[in-house]
Amino acid sequence: MSDLFPQCEIVPQPDSQFSFRIQGQERLRWHYAPHYSRPFFYPLTGPAGVPLTRIGHPGAPNHDHHRSIWFAHHRVLGINFWAENTGATITQKRWLSIDENDDEAILAVDLEWRDGHDPQPLLRQELISAIRTNLKQELFLELQTTFYPTAESLEFQKTNFGFLAVRVAKSISSYFGAGKITNSRQQTGEKSIFGKPAEWMDYSGPVSPELTEGISYFYHPANPVAGSTGPVSWHVREDGWMGASPCMHGPLETTRKRPLTFRFLLHAHAGPLNHDEADSFYQQFSQSQPYQLRQPKKRHTTATVSRLTS
C-alpha cells in the first residue's frame, strides 16, 4: 500500500466520531459527542465483522453507562465519573494526532474530566489508541493513557470500578449467552475469577450459530496497582462485563511530577481462547516500548505518535 492509501487508517466522521479501518473495512469507532457523559468505542468487531461489544446491560436498564469500551472511575476525590447523571463528565477537548501506515493506525486525543460545578477540569487525560491486525484478520487495540491533574496531586480512591471497562456482546456473556470467562491462571467462571489477580482476562463465545470469537484483555505489568506489587485484580461478571481494577485494594495518586500512565491491549480473536497464544501476546506486549507523543515543530502540522526507542 502507498502512503496515500495506507492499510490502517482513521477517518473522521460526522457527529464527533472517528472510524478505525483496516483494508478499507471499519473495525472500530470512537464516539466523543459532548452530549455523552464520556467518550467510548463502539463497535469493536472480530475477524468475521460481527460486533463483539454492546451498548448497555442486557438485563439492567440502569446500566446504560456501559458503553462497549470506555474509560471512567467511580471515585475521583469522592466524585462519581462512572454512572450517568451525576453531573461529572469526561469530554474530548481536541484530537492531537492521527498517524497511519500499513502496520497500524494511531489516534491521540486530549480529554478533560469535570466535576459538573467548577468550569476548570480536575484533570486532563491523554489517550493514545492504536489498531493493527494479523494474517487471521484479528484486531489488536492498544490503549495508552496518562492522567495529568490540574492541582499538584489528585487521588483515585478505592473502588472496583475503573479505569478501562469492557461490555461484551450478549451472546458472548455467560449468563445471557453461551460464553466463557477465563483468566491467565486458567481459572474459569465468575466465582473463581472475581477479585483474583491475573495477568490477563478473556471473554469468548458464539457470535453466530457456527462461529466463536472473543476478546482478550491484557493489563501491562508496568501499570500501577494499589496495595500490591503483583498482577492486578479483576472485576468480572457472568453477565458480560470485565475490567481490570487497579484501585480494588486501595487508592492511587497522580501528580504533576509523576502522572499515572496505564497501558492496555485488547485482542479480538478468531475462535475460542487459545491460552498459549494469549500468553505469547501478553509477553510481547509486556516487552514492547510505550508510545510517545511528539509536539509539532512547524506550523500547520500536528503532533506525531511513535514508539519510544530502548
Give 130's strand partners: 106, 142
Q: What pLDDT shows up at residue 60?
A: 83
| Strand blocks (E) in the chain | 8-13, 17-22, 25-31, 40-44, 69-73, 89-100, 105-114, 123-133, 139-149, 153-156, 162-167, 180-183, 200-208, 211-219, 234-237, 241-244, 252-255, 260-270, 291-294, 304-307
CA terminus-to-terminus distance, the chain: 28
Give 147's strand partners: 125, 260
d(CA 73, CA 90) in angstroms, rounded, equals 10
Q: Which residue has the cell 458503553?
A: 67
Instruction: Write the Ramachandran bin of 4: left for phi over 0, alpha for psi from -120 to 50, otherwise beta.
Output: alpha
Residues of the chain with pLDDT under 70: 1-2, 300, 310
Whether the CB-CB separation of 138 and 268 falls below 8 Å is answered with: yes
Residue 205: which residues within 8 A CB-CB, separation 6 or more?
Answer: 168, 169, 171, 172, 173, 174, 177, 178, 179, 180, 212, 213, 214
The grid coordinates of residue 152 equal 499538584
CA 35 to the chain's CA centroid:
21
Q: What pLDDT shows up at residue 300?
A: 64
d(CA 57, CA 89) in angstroms, rounded, equals 21
CATH (residue range 8-307): 2.70.98
Residue 98: which residues within 8 A CB-CB, separation 6 or more?
Answer: 10, 105, 106, 107, 108, 302
Domain ranges for the chain: 8-307
Whether the CB-CB separation of 231 and 221 falls below 8 Å is answered with: yes
Q: Taking the CB of residue 119, how many other CB atoms lie within 10 A of it?
A: 6
- In terms of Cα–Cα distance, which of 46, 41, 38 is closest to 30? 41
| Confidence (pTM) | 0.96
Give 58's strand partners: none
